[in-house]
A and B are shown apart, each in its own frame.
Chain A
Amino acid sequence: MAEVRLLCTFQVADHLLGLDIAFVQEVLRRQQITRLPLSSPAVRGIINLRGHIVPAVDLRCCLDLPAAVSGEDRATIVVRGREDAAASLLVDEIGDVVQVTESSRERAPETVHGIARQLIHGVFPLHDRLLLELELGEVLRVAYA
């Protein structure tokens, strides 16, 4: 029996990315970000999530994608790994929650190079495009490095 999972999808640059909904705490509009000087470039700053200070991670930067111009990253996904503190990911657009079967997961194609390859847990071919599932732990590790 194929294992069925639900992925929360979102758009970053021209990629459709997904995260297991187990990791997703909430989805917000773009929040006011306070710059965090001297941090790694992927940490854009920190936001106030109802009184909790949560880092804002620039996914484009993690994935080596061109930086957002004029506020393309309009949405914020608040994520929480198994043991980790909450973090928020800056993305362009929130998509649907998509149901995938584990058996249809494929490895990232060999043509994906560099850092992005490390961060992609698997690829699910949808009928019109590819959904890349992110490995949250890796993403945060790269972001904070």
Chain B
Amino acid sequence: MGTMDEGILREFLSESLENAERVEQELVALEREPGDLKRIGTLFRAVHSIKGTCGFFGFTKLAAVTHAGENLLGRLRSGERAHTPEVANALLALVDAVRAILARINATQEEGDETYEPLIARLNQLDAGEPDVAPEPAAPVENSELAAPVESSESAAPVESSVRVDVHLLDRLMNLVGELVLARNQLLLEVASGNAVDLPATAQRLNHVTTDLQEQVMKTRMQAIGNLWSKLPRLTRDVAASCGKSVRLDLEGAETELDRSIIEAMRDPITHLVRNAIDHGIESPAERTAKGKPAEGRLLLRAFHEGGKVHVEITDDGAGLPLDRIRERALQQQLISAERAPHMSDRDLANVIFLPGFSTAERVTSVSGRGVGMDVVRNNVERIGGAIEVESRPGQGMAVRIRIPLTLAIVPALIVTAGGERYAIPQVNLTELIRVEAAEAAIRLPVAFDAPVLRYRDGLLPLLDLREVLRVPGFPSTERQNEATSIAVVHADGVTLGLVVDSIVASQEIVVKPLIEQLRQIAVFAGATILGDGAVALILDVPGLARHAGISVRSGGAPLPVQKLVPDSPSVPLRTIVLCHAGARWTVAIPQEQIARLEEIPRRLVERIGERAMVQYRGGILPLVSLGAILDLSGSAKSADAEWLGDRDPLAVVVHDHGGRSLGLVVESIVEIVEERMAVTASPGARAGFAGAVVVRGSVTELLDLERLLGSSAIGRDFVPAHAGKGA
């Protein structure tokens, strides 16, 4: 065997595995439509072709097993034998045997010593028309993925190491590479001759070619999710049989394409969810009939593209989640607090199943009670930048929705600096950015037993100083005391924490490069990326970082959606407010009724007369004032307009109508518009121009009263009373 051409053997392995897979799919399908001669024909040919090729290689044991199967299939084809469950079980056992032998050949180039005599005897018996002697005919076939996930993934190995690429795609790639070479030659020539005139054009061409090339190469990595789903009919059949349930599996959108690496990463979570749905979700036929449902349960997998992501939904029409039981268990296991439990919505409660350590012990069975909890499923999904949520309707079933990115290779990230080096934080882990001014630091950043925390929304977040975690030389230093603190609030694995960084640089798409194996033991990095200037930046692994710092779910943060401080009661009026940053990331709320419009105005349209700035707007003139300056955040209302307008372009402008005239209030940025029931409370030490404080999204925010504010401020008076007077 040693002299055998590796290539031919490899081809044989991958072809035979494909055939084995086809046999499996057809067998499961055949159980639904027992008389389908076309399927039996396909089955026969697939088994025959494995047998034929293995003869050529001298794999006699494989030949013997497939030969017995081929005989039985021949009887099926001629109609002499019916496709009974015993026949299906025996033939599925054959598929498993073929896979096991192929795996052994792949590993050792030998087919091993096992002869599979019992299986051959069983096949021959069925072939001869005798009843199957295999124990428990209805039981799932031993050796399937169900019982031996390790072996099945091993047997799949030869296929995973190669992909099929459309020849046209390959041609296009070659063309693009040709273009790339030409562009490079041109660039080198221009650089050598010092010809700077054509450089921008060449750079642009290089840019185009690279973008196209990137897109096309990504296409070669794309695979239909159907590749992953092809194993599910068999899995469903076996799991359903072992739990004594009857389940019909429907697959929609199998052609939806995803990056190979993501397909691989989704294999375990999806398998687990399907198992769970059948084992726990769908009731036994008797129960279902008693509830007036069809005896056969339905499991639907749907995949589709939406919003640049791939959505996968796993829906069953079973019993749904026992929410009361979940609440009880979560309380017992101290995963949620007693105060919170009664206020949790059904949705929040359903998502408790994703918390680490959660289990409803009464429900452990041989199929899903393997210690692989839903938290592992969630971790797997989140590791590839996805999100997962569950929706349950008691008595009607539940749906698990997964959103995953198309590719792992390029991810949006935030670049921050710590100790002069740049680091990337994947956007999927990012909740928000917070800047705490030095003056506020004493209040917002208290210290509890040497552990710094951040007052965040209505709770406290553990704070981690990136410079300290990464042991930046010379940290801590005492010099930076009087500067503002930049904090990136990040979350992963159900933990939320604040990362203190030197500065926040930019948000950009980064190409993820793995670190070599020897460096991967440093668990706080997920890889590295190369920035525009050619320098390397490390990508932070937020879960790793949290673990490294010893922050676990139970001790840390506010992992669950923040509880509403003000209950939904009609006595509290529903208000719509606009949240914006006035000046240095200080958030204020403006009642919507005081706002005429929100505009973005390009900076170049701003005209100046003396110290005043204005723009032509809707056939008139709109004076611009900085909200920050009115609130006197910068300390000097009279500062040059370049300063008070900030350095943003376009300017974010809140248009306020006052006495028939409009005034543009320039803010740093408009955060969001919130409609919530909120009570206005007088805030202690309220300044002029503030109506009080409201709780928005769980955090206390000052509510502006523009009328009063403009009346009380120098700049406001400057503009408003004059015009108001005219209008009156």
Select A34's contact among B469, B472, B516, B538, beta carbons within 8 Å: B538
| A37-B470, A37-B471 as given contacts; A51 in contact with B530, CB under 8 Å | yes
Q: Is the CB of B537 within 8 A of A34?
A: yes
Which residue of chain B has the shortest Cβ distance to A52 in the bound complex?
B513
Cβ of A70 under 8 Å from chain B: no
B530 partner residues in chain A, CB cutoff 8 A:
48, 51, 53
| Residue-wise interface mask of A (7-45) relative to B, using a CB-CB cutoff of 8 A (1 in contact, 0 not) | 000000000000000000000000010111111000100
| Residue-wise interface mask of B (456-495) relative to A, using a CB-CB cutoff of 8 A (1 in contact, 0 not) | 0000000000000111100000000000000000000000
| A32-B535, A36-B538 as given contacts; A46 in contact with B471, CB under 8 Å | no
Q: Is the CB of B534 within 8 A of A85?
A: no
Name the distance in Å between B112's Cβ and chain A's nearest Cβ: 27
| A35-B421, A36-B522, A37-B472 as given contacts; A53 in contact with B535, CB under 8 Å | no
B470 partner residues in chain A, CB cutoff 8 A:
37-38
Name the distance in Å between B415's Cβ and chain A's nearest Cβ: 13
Name the distance in Å between B180's Cβ and chain A's nearest Cβ: 14
Cβ of B3 under 8 Å from chain A: no
Name the distance in Å between A138's Cβ and chain B's nearest Cβ: 14
Q: Is the CB of B535 within 8 A of A55?
A: no
Name the distance in Å between A33's Cβ and chain B's nearest Cβ: 8
A51 partner residues in chain B, CB cutoff 8 A:
513, 530
| A32-B534, A34-B535, A144-B519 as given contacts; A53 in contact with B528, CB under 8 Å | yes
Cα–Cα distance between A53 and B513 once the two chains are bound (Å): 7
Cβ of B517 under 8 Å from chain A: yes
Cα–Cα distance between A85 and B520 once the two chains are bound (Å): 13
| Residue-wise interface mask of A (66-102) relative to B, using a CB-CB cutoff of 8 A (1 in contact, 0 not) | 0000000000000000000111000000000000000
Q: Is the CB of B516 within 8 A of A85?
A: yes
| Residue-wise interface mask of B (494-526) relative to A, using a CB-CB cutoff of 8 A (1 in contact, 0 not) | 000000000000000000011111110010110
Cβ of B536 under 8 Å from chain A: yes
Cβ of A63 under 8 Å from chain B: no
Name the distance in Å between B653's Cβ and chain A's nearest Cβ: 41
A32 partner residues in chain B, CB cutoff 8 A:
534-536
Cβ of A134 under 8 Å from chain B: no
Which residue of chain A has the shortest Cβ distance to B518 in the bound complex?
A144
A47 partner residues in chain B, CB cutoff 8 A:
536
A46 partner residues in chain B, CB cutoff 8 A:
515, 519, 528, 536, 538
| Residue-wise interface mask of B (391-419) relative to A, using a CB-CB cutoff of 8 A (1 in contact, 0 not) | 00000000000000000000000000000
A52 partner residues in chain B, CB cutoff 8 A:
513
Cα–Cα distance between A43 and B528 once the two chains are bound (Å): 15
Cβ of A139 under 8 Å from chain B: no
| A32-B534, A53-B536 as given contacts; A38 in contact with B522, CB under 8 Å | yes
Cβ of A132 under 8 Å from chain B: no
Most buried by B among A38, A39, A52: A38
Cβ of A140 under 8 Å from chain B: yes
Name the distance in Å between B534's Cβ and chain A's nearest Cβ: 6
A35 partner residues in chain B, CB cutoff 8 A:
421
B472 partner residues in chain A, CB cutoff 8 A:
37
Question: Chain A interface residue count: which class?
Answer: 20 to 34
B518 partner residues in chain A, CB cutoff 8 A:
55, 85, 140, 144
Q: Is the CB of B515 within 8 A of A53?
A: yes
Name the distance in Å between A142's Cβ and chain B's nearest Cβ: 11
Cα–Cα distance between A105 and B300 once the two chains are bound (Å): 70
Q: Is the CB of A53 within 8 A of B421?
A: no
B471 partner residues in chain A, CB cutoff 8 A:
37-38
| Residue-wise interface mask of A (107-122) relative to B, using a CB-CB cutoff of 8 A (1 in contact, 0 not) | 0000000000000000
8 A Cβ contacts from B212-251 to A? none
Cα–Cα distance between A34 and B415 once the two chains are bound (Å): 15
Q: Is the CB of B522 within 8 A of A39?
A: yes
Which residue of chain A has the shortest Cβ distance to B513 in the bound complex?
A53
Cα–Cα distance between A52 and B511 once the two chains are bound (Å): 11
Most buried by A among B421, B518, B537, B538: B518
Cα–Cα distance between A60 and B654 once the two chains are bound (Å): 61
Most buried by B among A47, A52, A53: A53
Cα–Cα distance between A86 and B516 once the two chains are bound (Å): 9
Q: Is the CB of A48 within 8 A of B534?
A: yes
Cα–Cα distance between A55 and B538 once the two chains are bound (Å): 12
Q: Is the CB of B524 within 8 A of A38?
A: yes
A38 partner residues in chain B, CB cutoff 8 A:
470-471, 522, 524
Q: Is the CB of A39 within 8 A of B534?
A: no
B515 partner residues in chain A, CB cutoff 8 A:
46, 53
Name the distance in Å between B113's Cβ and chain A's nearest Cβ: 31
Select B514's contact among A37, A43, A53, beta carbons within 8 Å: A53
8 A Cβ contacts from B526-573 to A? 527-528, 530, 534-538
| Residue-wise interface mask of B (168-188) relative to A, using a CB-CB cutoff of 8 A (1 in contact, 0 not) | 000000000000000000000
Which residue of chain A has the shortest Cβ distance to B533 in the bound complex?
A32
A39 partner residues in chain B, CB cutoff 8 A:
519, 522
Cα–Cα distance between A34 and B421 once the two chains are bound (Å): 7
A144 partner residues in chain B, CB cutoff 8 A:
518-519
Name the distance in Å between B187's Cβ and chain A's nearest Cβ: 16
A37 partner residues in chain B, CB cutoff 8 A:
469-472, 522, 524, 538
Cα–Cα distance between A140 and B516 once the two chains are bound (Å): 12
A54 partner residues in chain B, CB cutoff 8 A:
516
Name the distance in Å between A44's Cβ and chain B's nearest Cβ: 12
B516 partner residues in chain A, CB cutoff 8 A:
53-55, 85-87
B513 partner residues in chain A, CB cutoff 8 A:
51-53
Cα–Cα distance between A34 and B537 once the two chains are bound (Å): 7
Cα–Cα distance between A34 and B424 once the two chains are bound (Å): 13
Name the distance in Å between A137's Cβ and chain B's nearest Cβ: 12
Cα–Cα distance between A106 and B525 once the two chains are bound (Å): 43
Cα–Cα distance between A47 and B525 once the two chains are bound (Å): 15
B469 partner residues in chain A, CB cutoff 8 A:
37
Name the distance in Å between B153's Cβ and chain A's nearest Cβ: 23
| A37-B470, A37-B471, A37-B472 as given contacts; A48 in contact with B519, CB under 8 Å | no
Cα–Cα distance between A46 and B538 once the two chains are bound (Å): 9
A48 partner residues in chain B, CB cutoff 8 A:
530, 534-536
Cα–Cα distance between A93 and B519 once the two chains are bound (Å): 26
B535 partner residues in chain A, CB cutoff 8 A:
32, 34, 48
Cα–Cα distance between A43 and B515 once the two chains are bound (Å): 13
Cα–Cα distance between A43 and B472 once the two chains are bound (Å): 15
Cα–Cα distance between A9 and B514 once the two chains are bound (Å): 31
Which residue of chain A has the shortest Cβ distance to B524 in the bound complex?
A38
Cα–Cα distance between A34 and B525 once the two chains are bound (Å): 13
Name the distance in Å between B501's Cβ and chain A's nearest Cβ: 14
Q: Is the CB of B421 within 8 A of A85?
A: no
Cα–Cα distance between A100 and B522 once the two chains are bound (Å): 40
Q: Is the CB of B519 within 8 A of A36?
A: yes
Selected A-B contacts with CB under 8 Å, 27 pairs: A32-B534, A32-B535, A32-B536, A34-B528, A34-B535, A34-B537, A34-B538, A36-B538, A37-B472, A37-B524, A37-B538, A38-B471, A46-B519, A46-B528, A48-B536, A51-B530, A52-B513, A53-B516, A53-B530, A53-B536, A54-B516, A55-B516, A55-B518, A85-B516, A85-B517, A86-B516, A144-B518
Residues in A lying within 8 Å of B, measured CB to CB: 32, 34-39, 43, 46-48, 51-55, 85-87, 140, 144
- 3 A-B pairs with least C-beta separation: A37-B470, A144-B518, A34-B536
Q: Give 15 new A-B contacts, CB below 8 A, not counting A37-B522, A38-B524, A39-B519.
A: A35-B421, A36-B522, A37-B470, A37-B472, A38-B471, A47-B536, A52-B513, A53-B527, A53-B528, A55-B516, A85-B516, A87-B516, A140-B518, A144-B518, A144-B519
